Structure 1
């Protein structure tokens, strides 16, 4: 299998010198996963998982088996740092959403890199702080009483992030509904309602924001 180079596309590593990047690359395990394959689940050895091509979803399972999407991983994204640093993730699962190439780094190798490369440890702190902020944003979504408020807030944030009035939902509607804490049927109804009010225009996963001010007002309700 042709190897894929993850180090240069990951913000965690791409600030390193060429020599340091080559050192990281020498420790990487290259894997190809089929669509729908579980990459990591509770009880397995900690790994740093980097997406080179394709996508994955990180989710939790409740005691009743209900899935709660935490985040999506796209090329350059990574997961597993908390487990590598000793945090227990008893209910975290990582599955592929499509054919995916990934790079894996074992705990012993990762810890050795942190000791040898102080700048890597600092970058890790910076990126984990952003990860915590993203998690807080999702928690804020779920605390909003109305589904339409969560949806409006999500679309507003997505538009601001991309600096465009036309955005593409970066996940399946099933996963978006889980992310927003609702059902696919309810999400579909709320999107249709926004269309009827001429706030958005939807074509598949592409959403055109027609009335940004009204959408912002709904997000703040």
Structure 2
């Protein structure tokens, strides 16, 4: 890990701060600390200081550990996305880890600095709350997926959710296949077989991460107890 200071505004990449004027963004930038991480380096883990981690460049895998010590993939952070907003309000990080999946540059904002900003700009508190609620909803959906017995049912439910979220039967899966497999609680090999199964029966077409639902109704019939 290395520290650095860039001449661009990190906050310009973050939707959280786009509600503010340029001059206000520049004031916040003075509170930002820059850090660089190599692929595979840990950004945060339980017990770390309470900070907001903002991805300026690169990609971060966020996960938690199950009771038996296995990684449970949660999400991928890309440019402009952040993690740690709940920790800044006093919630301890008991089981959340973040690892750089490529060379990554991160901007951090300490708890005391963010709390002062929230008092000065109340609209930021509303944006943080919205983001926190969205993450909670996403985690609940993932937990519901993992309760489904068959992998093909989980995959079908995930694809239907993606189409619904984007209001289109054609979409791009943001996660890599290895990450999606972990997200769905299976192996990459099994996931690949289930994708081929859904393609074979004519429910979907897939080109790498690009997916088109050919028969959404048929795909819906695959899903059980969801």
TM over 0.5, yes or no?
A: yes
Q: Which runs of 5+ in 2 are unaligned?
A: none
Q: Structure 1 residue 188 and structure 2 residue 192: aligned?
A: yes
Backbone CA RMSD of aligned residues: 1.8
| Matched length | 221
Q: Which runs of 5+ in 1 are unaligned?
A: none
Which residue matches 2:29? 25
Which residue matches 1:173? 177
- 3-state SS in 2 of match to 1:149: helix
Given that 1:167 and 1:208 are in contact with CA atoms closer than 8 Å, whether structure 2 keeps it comes out as: yes
Structure 2 Cα separation of the partners of residues 50 and 179 of structure 1: 22
**TM-score normalised over the length of structure 1:** 0.91
Given that 2:64 and 2:71 are in contact with CA atoms closer than 8 Å, whether structure 1 keeps it comes out as: yes
Give the Å deviation of 1:180: 0.9
Which residue matches 2:40? 36
Which residue matches 1:215? 219
Residue of structure 2 aligned with 1:67, choices 49, 65, 71 = 71
Residue of structure 1 aligned with 2:140, choices 132, 136, 139 = 136
Moved over 3 A (4+): 1-4, 162-166
Give the Å deviation of 1:56: 0.8
Alignment of 1:4-19 (within 5 A): 4-19=8-23
Give the Å deviation of 1:114: 1.4
**TM-score normalised over the length of structure 2:** 0.89
